[in-house]
Structure 1
Amino acid sequence: MKYELLHSTDPATVSESDLNFPASSSTPSMDRVTNGSVDFRGRIADKRKTGGWRASPFIIANEAAERLSAFTVSASLVLYLTKEMKESLPDAATHVSDWVGATYLLMLVGAFLADAYLGRYLTVILSSAVYLIGMIMLTVSASVPTLRPTCSTETSNCPSSATPGQSAFLYSALALVALGTGGVKPNVPSFGADQHDENDEKELSYKYTFFNFFFLSIKVGALLGLTVMVYIEQEKGYAWGFGLPTGIMFASVVILAAGFPRYRYKKPMGSVFTRFIQVIVVAVKNHFKGVEVSHEVKLYEVATEESDILGARKLSHTPQYRFLDKAAVMEDPELTDITDRWKLCTVTQVEELKTFVRVFPVWASTIALSLSLAQQSTFFLAQSKILNRKLGPNFVIPPGSMQVFAVINAFITVPVYEKCIVPILQRKTNHHRGLTSLQRMGLGLFISIFALALAAAIEHMRRTHSNPSDLSVFWLVPQFFILGGAESFTYVGQLEFFYDEATDGMKSVCGALFLSEIGIGSWVNTALVKMVEGATGTGEGGWLRDDLNESKLDYYYAILAAISAVNLFLYVWVARRYKGRHQG
């Protein structure tokens, strides 16, 4: 189908080739970026002084420090709730899942504020301050005895649960941490990617290298958090365990601020969700007016070199989702107020919504991996606690440190894949990344099935063993390690996919969308736990009980493996039919 384009200042139509706008609307100096980024003075960014690997080390170091704090808290929270706050294991597991879910869904809010109003850098700095306040409150909760249910030295009376006030203080602290993380997490990777000009082939290759180093920085933070920090917490108590990450969180803010003059900045581009609603409203109105999209229909676009979305490049028209094209049809030839987007939208605005609609099924079909990953900080952790954790005569492995084996996988998988496997795959697939981002994500989903199936088999062996407490905690290493491999492939694939497919005005929102699935997965885990408890009960015969020796956790893992297998088939069906905006 051939579409014609109607300019705002010239009613004449243009040929279909004019719909394919250049990546850059001007021909700037070779030393200047062409993606609209500016330096801290508001001038077009100079490649010689800003961005690239001049700026990336600050962002990578900041992420490592912030993730160290986050992993230390997440690895300890279930144990803190059960041991210090006197919650039952199922309740603690669901509360942690709910908190993780809220944390990641709040990332959509943080991404919206960054793209629409504040910009990524300012959003990260302000959110970090909120995060830091929450960490301080969490440290106070662990330090002040009256903020926890503690035994009375005079009456030897030990309360069976926390008071409403104690719980309120703790969960207020966790709420601030969740709110702060919601502003930090989705914007840091996008801010890092902004440091590389996509129209420069050399910087484009550096962007993919940045994504791999960024992922490894997350794992460096996790490695230190799950080993050094968790061990200090075991030996010194939760006050130290939460206090040190609080100090490191402060250091992460200082690190990020230190790179201020070296960064490239993208200006806020207005509310992407408002633009989405405008397209839907105008398309529906025109539909009921009888507007049709055909070969002769003229689609509206501004005549300026850039789109009318501040700082965003024009998008080429694609033939998918033709209903939405009705929003760009100039239905009334006498329309004078062509700047009112509640009456007439541009092709670029319509294509922006089409992009979101395209990536949504891919996002939805990868949620099952997040459901699997939720086990690492809940039931995998509970298993670690009851197995033999002695390493030599004097050292006991902290339960939270077992997640380090998932981290070790990333340190093996990412470099081996990049240095050894990608060159081989490049020759076979003729793709510059060896595997496409969709293929890489699918491989991760495939691996996750084996991780959960193995977890079910190991738990069945442990549960039916004559003396399960004598079994070494290292029996759990395979399930942590393999699940870590699944995350390595899927996470980096998602970073590449969502950033590449996102339009200029929705980079952070797309990044938050893929991160929010971790929150959705945690909430699905909570719902599934409640469903299993409702179906099997919490007493004798129940699958999920306070005492894992009396539970049937292996059955639960088997259900997760089955869900992951079904999800893989769904993902393959979606991925095979996916057609990105660059293929339009």
Structure 2
Amino acid sequence: MEEDDLYTKDGTVDYKGNPADKKKTGTWRACPFIIGNECCERLAYYGMSTNLVLYFKHRLNQHSAVAATNNQNWGGTCYITPLIGAFLADSYLGRYWTIACFSIIYIIGMTLLALSASVPGIRPRCSAEDNCNPTETQSAMAFLALYLIALGTGGIKPCVSSYGADQFDDTDEKEKKHKSSFFNWFYLSINIGALIAASVLVWVQDNVSWGWGFGIPAIAMAIAVCFFFSGTRLYRNQKPGGSPLTRMFQLEFFYEQAPDAMRSFCSALPLTTVALGSYLSSLLVTIVSNVTAKNGKPGWIPDNLNYGHIDYFFWLLAALSVLNLGVYIWVVRWYTYKRAVGTLR
């Protein structure tokens, strides 16, 4: 009995493929490396993406509507690629190797983006601060870097939170209680990374240079990978369990009720709705820009927003939000509810 208690009972193994030793792997021994990885990765992602529309406009010489459309399409791709990463993690590679392999792609994309914004000959030539004339090759290099980043993040988004959950044995009540604490720290790390990115790095891009503005996120991503690999000996790993596509039709499909081998795929599915929303947003911007700019009118979203009617576009978005609320109220009758535990009397 004592020997049985030495190892996890949820099927996890250590980095050598042996049953995971409870005293040497997982729990809060391993989680700081995952949390540190996530904080730096989110800092890198938001530091690079928050100001991306301005980069499209001021460095790649794109009109406002085109820049917004390209930004939404790229963002949608960042949220659709997790389906690829989740499928590979659950079916073939496992979460550890999926995160590791896609992180390398991520770093390559971040490095290429930083180079495309800083190296002479690769970066767009500018005659003034906001007057740049990039060649097709220079623009193509920037977008190649961005879509490598979109592919790289697709292997991290659906796996890293699930990988943190793997570090706690659900059959052990003591470890199970610590899992919720891990997620609190995990989401705090996301917000810390996003806060630094949206303040410090945006200021660097606006006031120092785009080379440093993209270079610092590339360095942050390299640090994130170092954090992740540093904890290799401490991680618990779930073995790949075959294609989740077959099993998803055999189970009640909720994350809490899905087996451990399907956690990544369950995490990726909600992200697809964000991806579809981003693609629809880019389509909406394109339609509004083209329809309202006919007959020589500047339209709602011209290159110089001072001559357009961006306020009309915001009213349109407000109307869509009201419509969304109406749909939510209409379908709420079909929701099921759970009684709150420990409510005040």
CA shift at 1:560, angstroms? 2.5
Q: Does 2:162 correspond to 1:263?
A: no
CA shift at 1:59, angstroms? 0.6
Aligned positions of 1:38-77 closer than 5 A: 38-77=13-52
The aligned amino acid for 1:173 is A
Q: Does 2:69 correspond to 1:94?
A: yes
Give the TM-score of the pair, scaled to structure 1.
0.54
Instruction: Judge conservation of contact 2:238–2:260 (CA < 8 Å) in 1.
Output: no
In the other structure, the counterpart of 1:209 is 181
For residue 283 of structure 2, the aligned residue among 504, 524, 527 is 527
Check 1:573–1:257 CA distance in 2 against 1; reply closer, same or farther (3 A cut).
farther
Check 1:560–1:502 CA distance in 2 against 1; reply closer, same or farther (3 A cut).
farther
Aligned positions of 1:46-445 closer than 5 A: 46-151=21-126, 161-273=133-245, 275=246, 350-352=249-251, 354-355=252-253
Instruction: Judge conservation of contact 1:86–1:149 (CA < 8 Å) in 2.
Output: no
Identity of aligned residues (%): 44
Instruction: Give distance in 2, aligned partners of 1:237 and 1:160.
Output: 14
Instruction: Judge conservation of contact 1:190–1:499 (CA < 8 Å) in 2.
Output: no
Instruction: Judge conservation of contact 1:28–1:34 (CA < 8 Å) in 2.
Output: no
The aligned amino acid for 1:93 is A
The aligned amino acid for 1:558 is W
The aligned amino acid for 1:561 is A
Aligned-partner SS, 1:143: coil
Instruction: Give distance in 2, aligned partners of 1:191 and 1:120.
Output: 6
The aligned amino acid for 2:214 is F
**Segments ≥4 residues shifted beyond 6 Å:** none
Instruction: Judge conservation of contact 2:59–2:132 (CA < 8 Å) in 1.
Output: no
The aligned amino acid for 2:300 is W
Specify every segment of 5 or more residues in structure 1 that has no aligned partner in the other structure, as ranges: 1-25, 277-348, 356-497
CA shift at 1:39, angstroms? 1.6
Alpha-carbon displacement from aligned partner over 1:486-509 (angstroms, at most 9, x marks no partner): xxxxxxxxxxxx632433332101
Instruction: Judge conservation of contact 1:66–1:252 (CA < 8 Å) in 2.
Output: yes
Instruction: Judge conservation of contact 2:58–2:131 (CA < 8 Å) in 1.
Output: no
Instruction: Give distance in 2, aligned partners of 1:253 and 1:568.
Output: 41
Specify every segment of 5 or more residues in structure 2 that has no aligned partner in the other structure, as ranges: 338-345
The aligned amino acid for 1:546 is D
CA shift at 1:204, angstroms? 2.6
Q: Does 2:256 correspond to 1:500?
A: yes
Instruction: Give distance in 2, aligned partners of 1:258 and 1:179.
Output: 23
Instruction: Give distance in 1, aligned partners of 2:333 and 2:188.
Output: 29
The aligned amino acid for 1:531 is I
Instruction: Give distance in 2, aligned partners of 1:241 and 1:255.
Output: 22
CA shift at 1:207, angstroms? 1.9
Instruction: Give distance in 2, aligned partners of 1:572 and 1:53.
Output: 42
Check 1:206–1:560 CA distance in 2 against 1; reply closer, same or farther (3 A cut).
farther
Aligned-partner SS, 2:117: helix
Alpha-carbon displacement from aligned partner over 1:432-469 (angstroms, at most 9, x marks no partner): xxxxxxxxxxxxxxxxxxxxxxxxxxxxxxxxxxxxxx
Instruction: Judge conservation of contact 1:127–1:183 (CA < 8 Å) in 2.
Output: yes
In the other structure, the counterpart of 2:8 is 33
CA shift at 1:573, angstroms? 5.6
In the other structure, the counterpart of 1:305 is none
Aligned-partner SS, 2:51: helix
Instruction: Give distance in 2, aligned partners of 1:572 and 1:122.
Output: 43
Instruction: Give distance in 2, aligned partners of 1:522 and 1:93.
Output: 11
Instruction: Give distance in 1, aligned partners of 2:273 and 2:177.
Output: 27
Aligned-partner SS, 1:544: coil
Aligned-partner SS, 1:265: coil
CA RMSD, Structure 1 to Structure 2 (Å): 2.6
Q: Paired residues, what number? A: 335
Aligned positions of 1:554-565 closer than 5 A: 554-565=311-322
In the other structure, the counterpart of 1:544 is 301
Instruction: Judge conservation of contact 2:14–2:235 (CA < 8 Å) in 1.
Output: yes
Q: Which has the larger radius of gyration?
A: 1
CA shift at 1:520, angstroms? 1.8
Alpha-carbon displacement from aligned partner over 1:308-349 (angstroms, at most 9, x marks no partner): xxxxxxxxxxxxxxxxxxxxxxxxxxxxxxxxxxxxxxxxx7
The aligned amino acid for 1:140 is L
The aligned amino acid for 1:207 is K
Aligned-partner SS, 2:8: coil
Instruction: Give distance in 1, aligned partners of 2:175 and 2:322.
Output: 38
For residue 310 of structure 2, the aligned residue among 544, 550, 553 is 553
Instruction: Give distance in 2, aligned partners of 1:203 and 1:113.
Output: 28
In the other structure, the counterpart of 2:340 is none
Instruction: Give distance in 2, aligned partners of 1:134 and 1:177.
Output: 5
Aligned-partner SS, 1:145: coil
Instruction: Give distance in 2, aligned partners of 1:192 and 1:160.
Output: 44
Instruction: Judge conservation of contact 2:289–2:299 (CA < 8 Å) in 1.
Output: yes
Check 1:513–1:28 CA distance in 2 against 1; reply closer, same or farther (3 A cut).
farther
In the other structure, the counterpart of 1:511 is 267
Instruction: Judge conservation of contact 2:115–2:123 (CA < 8 Å) in 1.
Output: no
CA shift at 1:564, angstroms? 2.9
Instruction: Give distance in 1, aligned partners of 2:250 and 2:133.
Output: 54
Instruction: Judge conservation of contact 2:82–2:158 (CA < 8 Å) in 1.
Output: yes
Check 1:108–1:243 CA distance in 2 against 1; reply closer, same or farther (3 A cut).
same
Alpha-carbon displacement from aligned partner over 1:523-571 (angstroms, at most 9, x marks no partner): 1110111222233226536222222223332332333233333334444
